Structure 1
Amino acid sequence: MAAQNHFHTGEELEEPDWFEKALSGVEGEAIKTIKSFERGEFPLSETDRWAFSYYMALQSARGPDTRKTMEYLHASMVRLEIGAGGRKNVGRWIRRKYVVEPSPEQEDRIWEEGIQPGGPPISSTNLAHIQHLVEIAQELTSYLATRPWSLVRFNRRSLITSDSPVSLIRQPNDEPWEGVGFATAWGIAFPLTRKLGLLMSDPMVVLGGLEAGDPRVQEVRSSVLRGDIDRIEAGTTAMEKLFNEHAAYSAREYVYHHPEDAGFVPEDLPEPNLINIRAQGGLMGMDFDGEPLFHPDEHQEGHDDVGEPV
C-alpha cells in the first residue's frame, strides 16, 4: 500500500493531503502507545484504549482491498440492474441513472460492458474511499475496545505482519466455510512489533451467559474498558503460530517480516486477493441473454420510469 502514490489524497478538496496528515497524527500517537507497551505500561486508560482501538480499526479498513471490494460490489449491483432489465431497456436505465438521452452506440456499449463478468469497470474516487473507510473504522472501533486484551511478549520467537494486519480468529467449532466477523470472532490478533502482539479475546466469555438486558452487562463492559481483565503473558510456540498463521492468511498481497524472521513465515501462503466479499449464486451469478427478467405492470407499459414514451 505504501507504494501506491496519493492513495489517500483528495484532489477535490482545498487541502488534498489532509487525510494523509490526519493518518500521520493517529499513527504518531499509536507509536507512542506501542512504545509504552514495550515498557510494560499496560493496560491503557479508557481514553487511550478507545484511541488505539480506532487506530487498529483504521489499519483494518484503510487497505486497497477495502476499495477494491467496494468497487466490485458496486459493479456487481450495476451488472444486475442492467442485465435484469434486458437489452431493450438499457436506454431507460441510462436516462433514469444519468438524465441524458443515449445514442444507440452508447446503449450498445453500456449493455456489453454492463453484463460482462464482474460488471462494468467502476473506480471510486479517493474522497469516496476515505469517507467509506472512516465510516467502517468508526463502526469497528467498539468491537476492538470492548474485548479483553492480552499483551503477548515473545523472547526467542518472532511475529510477522501483512498489508492487512488485523486478523480475525474464528470460533473453534465453526466450520471452515462459515464466515467470521469482528462481532463473532473468537479472537482478533494484531502484531505490534517483532516481539509483541495484542490478542483481543471473545467478550462473550466474560459475560458468562448474561442476557442483553441484564444490568450486569454494562458493569462487565465498563470493567473491560477499564482494563480490569487485561493481562500480560509470555509468548509460546503455539501463540506465535496462532499470530503468524492468521497474519499470513489475512494478507491481501504482501507478508512482511524482519530479515532474520523468514523461518516464522508459514509455508502455505494464500494467493493474492483484493476482494473480501464475492457476489455469487442466484441472480448475481447468472448470464444475461438480453431478455428482461421482470415485466412492468400493465399500467406502466409503454412508459419508462420518468413518464417518457418508449
Structure 2
Amino acid sequence: MGQGQPRRHHQVPQFYLRGFADDSDRVKVVRFGEQPRTFVTSVKNVAVEANFYKVDWLDAVREDLAEKLIGKVEDAAVEPLRLLAQHGELTVQQRGDVATWVVLQYLRGRGKRVDSVGLQKLMLRADLALGGKQRLASRLGLDDSAEVDALWDSIVVRGELADPPTMRYSHLRTMFSSTISKVAAAYVQAHWQVVTFQRRRLFTSDQPVCLWRAPDDDPGVGLLTADAVSIPLNHTTGLVIFPQIPSGITGESAPTTQYHRWFLAHTWMSAEELLILHPDDELPDWLPAYREARLGTLGLPDIQQFIDIGEAWRTHQDRSQPAAEVSF
C-alpha cells in the first residue's frame, strides 16, 4: 500500500459517530461478548479495523478503491444528514445521498462480511457433501480411507475451513452491486419521519441501520421487505424510513415515550458487538447491559441436509445401474 493511503478502515464513519460524542470527540462504548466491558474512547477508535476494505488486486492502484468509493458516499451524505437532524428540507438529490448512505451502511459492516464468508463456506461444504467421500478423495488425490474419513468429518460435518481468499472481494462486490442503487431509489420515494427528543437520549451501534417488520409467518426481513427502517441520527434525533409507504415526503413525529422505547429496543437488538452512547448517557434499566455478540444474520441450512441428499442420490444412482451380467 502506498504512503498516505488509508489503513484504518471504519465500518461506522467518524462523522456519524460525532453525533453521539462530547466536545472532545469521545463516546461511551458498551462491548458485548465473552468479555463484556464499558469504556470511553475517541470516535477514531470505534468500529475500525486495519485494511478491512482492502483487496489484493493485481493492480496496486485499485487496492483501496472500495474505501475511496465509500468515502465519496459518506462525503455526499454529511450535509443532508445534518439538515435532517435539524428538520431541514432536502432536495431530491440529497434524499438520494442519504438513502445511498443508509443502504451502504447496512451492508458494509463485519456482520455482513460474516454472512458472505459463511455462505461461501456453506457452498463448498454442500458441494462436497453432495459429491460424497469418493468424490472428496478423488479431488484431493487420496487413497487412505481413514484420512478421507477424517477430512470428511473435519471439513464437511464440522465446517473447519479457513476463510476463503475471496471473502473480501465477495463482500465488496455485494456492497457495490445493483442492490444499493435499487434499494436507494425505493428509499428516496418512501415516506420518512424525523423525531427529536427533548429530554430522552438515543444511542447507536456498530449496525445503526435497524430493520423492523411486523410479526407474521415469514420471519425474514430485508431492506425492501421491512415495514420500517430506523437510524439514530444523533443522540437526540432519529430517522424512520417506511419502504412500504411511497410518498417522497419527510414528516415529523411527536417524541413519545413509545417511540423512544421503539428506537432504543431496535438499536439494541440490531447491534452486533458494540453500543455507542454519549459519554454522559447510560443504558436504561430495562435494557440488558450484556448479551452475546451477534455477527451475521444469514440463516444457513443444516449441512446434514446436503449429506442426506447426496447419499439418497447416490443410492438412487446405484439402483438405477443395470445389473452386471453373470457368466458361468
Q: What's the TM-score once normalised by structure 1's chain length?
A: 0.75
What is the alpha-carbon distance in structure 2 between the residues aligned to residue 14 and residue 181 of structure 1? Answer: 35
Deviations 1:5-38, CA, capped at 9 Å, x for gaps: 1001122142222221222222122121122224
Code of the aligned partner of 2:211: L
1:145 to 2:188 alignment: yes
Q: Within 5 A, what are the aligned runs for 1:243-282?
A: 243-264=263-284, 267-268=287-288, 270-281=291-302
Identical columns (%): 23
- Residue in structure 2 matched with residue 195 of structure 1 by the alignment: 236
Asked if structure 2 preserves the Cα contact closer than 8 Å seen for 1:54 and 1:137, the reply is yes
Deviation at 1:110, TM superposition (A): 5.0
Deviations 1:130-150, CA, capped at 9 Å, x for gaps: 112212433432343232001
What is the alpha-carbon distance in structure 2 between the residues aligned to residue 122 and residue 263 of structure 1? Answer: 36
Asked if structure 1 preserves the Cα contact closer than 8 Å seen for 2:193 and 2:253, the reply is yes
Asked if structure 1 preserves the Cα contact closer than 8 Å seen for 2:230 and 2:263, the reply is yes
Please, which moves more after superposition, 105-114 or 132-141? 105-114
1:185 to 2:226 alignment: yes
- Residue in structure 2 matched with residue 60 of structure 1 by the alignment: 106
Deviation at 1:63, TM superposition (A): 0.5
SS at match of 1:4: strand
Deviations 1:194-250, CA, capped at 9 Å, x for gaps: 11110112535xxxxxxxxxxxxxxxx5xx23x2xx212332221111111101101
Please, which moves more after superposition, 238-247 or 195-204? 195-204
Q: Which has more strand, going by share of residues? A: 2
1:90 to 2:154 alignment: no
CA distance change for structure 1 residues 277 and 127 in 2, over 3 Å: closer, same or farther? closer
Among residues 216, 219, 234, which one is paired with 1:174 in the alignment? 216
Deviations 1:44-102, CA, capped at 9 Å, x for gaps: 2222212210110010000111111111122122222212322112144x3xxxxxx73
The count of aligned residue pairs is 267
Among residues 135, 138, 141, which one is paired with 1:102 in the alignment? 141
What is the alpha-carbon distance in structure 2 between the residues aligned to residue 266 and residue 133 of structure 1? Answer: 35
CA distance change for structure 1 residues 265 and 62 in 2, over 3 Å: closer, same or farther? farther
Q: Within 5 A, what are the aligned runs for 1:1-310?
A: 1=11, 2-12=47-57, 13-15=59-61, 16-42=63-89, 44-92=90-138, 94=139, 102-104=141-143, 111-118=152-159, 120-123=161-164, 124-135=166-177, 136-171=179-214, 173-174=215-216, 178-201=219-242, 203-204=244-245, 221=246, 224-225=247-248, 227=249, 230-264=250-284, 267-268=287-288, 270-281=291-302, 284-286=303-305, 288=307, 292-295=311-314, 297=317
> What is the aligned-residue RMSD (CA, Å)?
2.9
SS at match of 1:203: strand
SS at match of 1:259: coil
Asked if structure 1 preserves the Cα contact closer than 8 Å seen for 2:208 and 2:271, the reply is yes
Deviation at 1:39, TM superposition (A): 3.6
- Residue in structure 1 matched with residue 42 of structure 2 by the alignment: none
Q: What's the TM-score once normalised by structure 2's chain length?
A: 0.71
Please, which moves more after superposition, 177-186 or 105-114? 105-114
SS at match of 1:41: coil
SS at match of 1:261: coil
